[in-house]
Amino acid sequence: MALRRLEEKITKENLWIYILSLLKERPLYAYEIKERIKERFGFEPATITAYVVLYRLEREGLVESRQEKGTSDNVIRRYYRITEKGIQTLEAGREFIKKIVKLLEAPERGPNMQ
């Protein structure tokens, strides 16, 4: 039960870091982001959750979007791209996670010890 709560917190409740990680590779549309999360990270966020997070990221200036035609099917979709601020936030998030893992692996060391 505790492990399940941890999995929820690290995945679905922090969906933003997974989205930014994917968008750092290339622009994607919302449904594609959801599918790539499932393929790459092994969990499936609810569709509405993915959209809510994307809208929030856009409001915060971490991603930007624009409508474009798809290259293979000519369907107009809203593609999301990571911004410079988004890249900086992603890197800060990754560093924070690395720091936590390092502290968990060496519990005798405090957070201010290198």
Where does residue 87 fall: left (phi above 0), alpha (psi -120 to 50 degrees), or beta otherwise?
Answer: alpha
Question: What residues does 76 pair with on adjacent strands?
Answer: 69
For the entire predicted model, the pTM comes to 0.87
Q: What's the confidence (pLDDT) of residue 26?
A: 97
Q: Which residues does 27 contact at the CB level (< 8 Å), separation at least 6?
A: 79, 80, 81
pLDDT value at residue 42? 95
The beta strand positions in the chain, using DSSP E, are: 28-29, 63-69, 76-82
Mean pLDDT over each residue of the chain, to the nearest integer: 92
For domain 2-105, which CATH number applies: 3.30.450.40, 2.60.40.10, 3.30.70.1450, 1.10.10.10? 1.10.10.10
pLDDT, position 73: 80
